[in-house]
Amino acid sequence: MKYLYYIVFFTISLAYYSSAQDIRIGASPDNRYNPAGGFYDYSDPRYVNIMVNIWGYVRFPGKYYVPENSKVLDLMSYAGGPTPDAFLDDIRIYRGSMQDEAIIKKLNFDDIMNKENPNVKDLDIPILIPGDIILVPGEPKLYFRDYVSIYASITSVLISLAILILNIAK
């Protein structure tokens, strides 16, 4: 009877927690990096539209269908902007050429994002071409609570090992 109660409780709690999540394609629930992407259509029927990709540390990575004269900054804004973990000084554009060679362009958006009044018209921001892949690199940052959690875990393991050794020694 006791085991039946545990099985029913476990089944009900599993059903509750699996149905209670609100999942959106392209973003994790805590708005952090999500390696899965989606398809987003920002096309304009008045213009020629192209397919481009943006991957990495942006809010909504994935494939985008955008107007032909869109710039990299436009695509980054469509993608929800960079996450706090993104390295904006090393954004890369991968372009395929006619000779089957990949052309890689590196951009530094750190200056643009940190300027007080940037004049976007004066900056050399590339226009997207069909098939472009924009990669926004980054690395998850650890905060104080993360460091406390790591040190507490290591300390508890060491204390447990010390207690085990003392019990074996007796």
pLDDT digits (tens, 9 = 90+) for 22-61: 444 444 444 444 455 678 888 888 888 889 999 989 999 9
Residue 92 in contact with residue 106, Cβ under 8 Å? yes
End-to-end, the C-alpha distance of the chain in Å comes to 40
pLDDT given for residue 25 in this prediction: 41
Task: Name the CATH topology of 26-136.
Answer: Outer membrane lipoprotein wza fold like (3.10.560)
Q: Are strands 62-67 and 38-41 parallel, antiparallel or unpaired?
A: parallel
Residue 90 in contact with residue 137, Cβ under 8 Å? yes
pLDDT given for residue 20 in this prediction: 42
**Calpha distance 160→128 (Å, rounded):** 57
Residue 136 in contact with residue 57, Cβ under 8 Å? yes
Task: Give 85-109 pLDDT, tens digit per residue.
Answer: 888 888 898 887 666 667 788 887 7
**Calpha distance 30→87 (Å, rounded):** 20
